[in-house]
A and B are shown apart, each in its own frame.
Chain A
């Protein structure tokens, strides 16, 4: 019995799960470990994580993994070929290998998702928390701005921005981000309002913390988890919006192998050469599934109430 108790795994785990952490670092690590073990229990969530890791892997090693160039094709001889031994997913209308384009396109997909999340989420978080915490006319003004952006037809806003800023994937990303942040602001505000009158906030106020510090170090972290979950779940929508912009001709510049643009340009052949549009569609489907499973898993892990049942 003493061997089990003294074995290193047991003691490390015990150290992490101790309810009397000696240092803040230990407390943080302990919390992270708890969340991780809850997450790891959910098999579907692990599958989601696996998909995303695969995506990242593809993006990093695209040069090595792709059999052909994603931008050079043989127009005359290899156009619109069905999947075969040489081209596992066939070729597109410029004779380019679809598998290679898919692999390189993972970089663009990650780029789009990452950028939109980096722009939209913090903006929404800041506006939402400030608005929820400050109340009064600050809240009114910020919420008016949010409502205006919410009421605005998303398509018009995105189209107009892309038209104004010029084509290209960065501008498309900006356009999507600008239309994505209002829901996050609303969520953050709603969350903030539920606990802004609670005891621990009052306690910190009593200790003399400035509103700025309160919002930054106490309010925002609490909203973070639901925001992360929401952002992850929105990833699919973001990719599809980028595809939709590509459909209207405002997405990535050719010949970039962005998955949405591939579907948009492949839809002309859907009746006879279905693979050109379908294969990137399936890729988007799998990645979205991955993000959704990941998001669900995160939500279950971060909010034990939901997971408990």
Chain B
């Protein structure tokens, strides 16, 4: 039975379509302005830093004439807004310039450095989530018990411990003394010639190419830095889970469910946690984004060739093309994750939709 399309219905449908179009438009405007803002801030920073980028390229011994010539070649004598315009134009067509340090196109450098950090951050977040959430739930359910205190202390220590100190200690114990894990880098030199990475995510590529010994070796390399990051992620996630779960467990519907006779497990995991999942997903997304930012300290200790090291090295040499490229990539991920969690929030929780 078809619904007759009355003028009112048509009007409402049009309004909804318009509303959606407005939302899409708003979405695009948001994204574009954020990007432009990112770029502008980075550009400004690049010019404010008192490091001579030509110095980084030529080193300390170059005669003054060479320095001047290269400065001209790099376009550094043009006014700031001209440089900005040139940059944005090129970036729109996918050309992020060339790194003055490695002389590769920045995009190529990032394509190699970013997957390393991506793999590490993903490993850490998965670990943090799959251990942190159950721990948080446990702590909330057994509030103020011994288990709760233990979970809280584990979390607090994770908050308060300097990562490079813990990392070095972990290396001494798990690598030097116990030989359980591998170090340095991402893969042993034995596979230097026999392994061709595809996506740059070694664990994934090894599975895809069915090279099981590579998989095992890559795992042994990632497990320690990944666990370290996982621990920090876990500290945060378990704490937030506990907090959200405590909120949920106070609600009246829990009392009602118990009165109805539902099993405790079902109440905790299927009702309370599902409702707590809404803000929790946002928290996990933020934590992931935080890890992705490239933990420079972890990458330094474990000689992990990721984007944190890349950006820091570039910044210390005033290689602004590389810094800009890295910032765009990381900024994109942040924006993407924020938008995704906003979307998820709105989808899952109808209360947030009316605005």
Chains A and B directly touch (beta carbon < 8 Å): yes
A contacts, CB < 8 Å to B:
144-145, 147-148, 150-157, 159-161, 163-164, 236-237, 240, 243-244, 247-248, 260, 263-264, 267, 270-271, 277-278, 281, 284-285, 288-289, 292, 305-306, 308-309
Within 8 Å by CB of A270, from B160, B169, B246, B315, lies B169
Interface majority SS (helix, strand, loop, mixed), chain B: helix
A285 adjacent to B37 (CB under 8 Å)? no
> Known pairs A148-B41, A247-B297. 9 more at Cβ < 8 A?
A148-B38, A152-B331, A155-B293, A240-B163, A247-B164, A263-B165, A270-B172, A288-B156, A309-B143
Within 8 Å by CB of A281, from B165, B308, B334, lies B165
| In the complex, chain B residues whose CB is within 8 Å of the CB of A281 | 161-162, 165
B49 adjacent to A164 (CB under 8 Å)? yes
Query: A175: shortest Cβ distance to chain B, in Å?
Result: 11
* B98 CB-CB contact with A under 8 Å: no
B37 adjacent to A160 (CB under 8 Å)? no
Q: Taking CB as reference atom, which chain B residue is nearest A183?
A: B286
A144 adjacent to B160 (CB under 8 Å)? no
**Complex Cα gap A270–B301 (Å):** 13
Within 8 Å by CB of B160, from A153, A277, A292, lies A292
Which B306-332 residues sit within 8 Å CB-CB of chain A? Answer: 308, 311-312, 315-316, 323, 326-327, 330-331
A164 adjacent to B161 (CB under 8 Å)? no
Within 8 Å by CB of B294, from A153, A157, A260, lies A153
B48-85 CB contact bits vs A (8 Å, 1 = yes)?
Answer: 11110000000000000000000000000000000000
Most buried by A among B162, B249, B250: B162
A144 adjacent to B33 (CB under 8 Å)? yes
Task: Give the bracket for the number of chain B residues in contact with chain A.
Answer: 35 or more
**Complex Cα gap A243–B34 (Å):** 30
Q: Taking CB as reference atom, which chain A residue is nearest B250?
A: A309
Which B219-274 residues sit within 8 Å CB-CB of chain A? Answer: 246-247, 249-250
* B30 CB-CB contact with A under 8 Å: yes
Query: A172: shortest Cβ distance to chain B, in Å?
Result: 15
**Complex Cα gap A157–B330 (Å):** 13
B315 adjacent to A263 (CB under 8 Å)? no
A153 adjacent to B49 (CB under 8 Å)? no
B48 adjacent to A248 (CB under 8 Å)? no
Given contacts A148-B37, A151-B331, A164-B49, contact A285 B157 (CB under 8 A): yes
A248 adjacent to B160 (CB under 8 Å)? no
A152 adjacent to B327 (CB under 8 Å)? yes
Within 8 Å by CB of B38, from A152, A240, A247, A292, lies A152
Q: Taking CB as reference atom, which chain B residue is nearest A145?
A: B37
Nearest 3 Cβ contacts at the A-B interface = A288-B160, A151-B334, A148-B37
Enumerate 8 A-B pairs (CB-CB under 8 Å) in ascending A order.
A145-B37, A156-B326, A159-B312, A159-B315, A244-B163, A281-B162, A288-B159, A292-B160
B249 adjacent to A289 (CB under 8 Å)? no
| In the complex, chain B residues whose CB is within 8 Å of the CB of A308 | 250
B312 adjacent to A267 (CB under 8 Å)? no
| In the complex, chain A residues whose CB is within 8 Å of the CB of B275 | none
**Complex Cα gap A296–B49 (Å):** 40
Q: Taking CB as reference atom, which chain A residue is nearest B51?
A: A163
| In the complex, chain B residues whose CB is within 8 Å of the CB of A155 | 293-294, 296, 308, 311-312
**Complex Cα gap A281–B164 (Å):** 11
B338 adjacent to A150 (CB under 8 Å)? yes
**Complex Cα gap A260–B297 (Å):** 13
Within 8 Å by CB of A240, from B45, B50, B160, B334, lies B160
| In the complex, chain A residues whose CB is within 8 Å of the CB of B51 | 163
| In the complex, chain B residues whose CB is within 8 Å of the CB of A147 | 30, 34, 335, 338
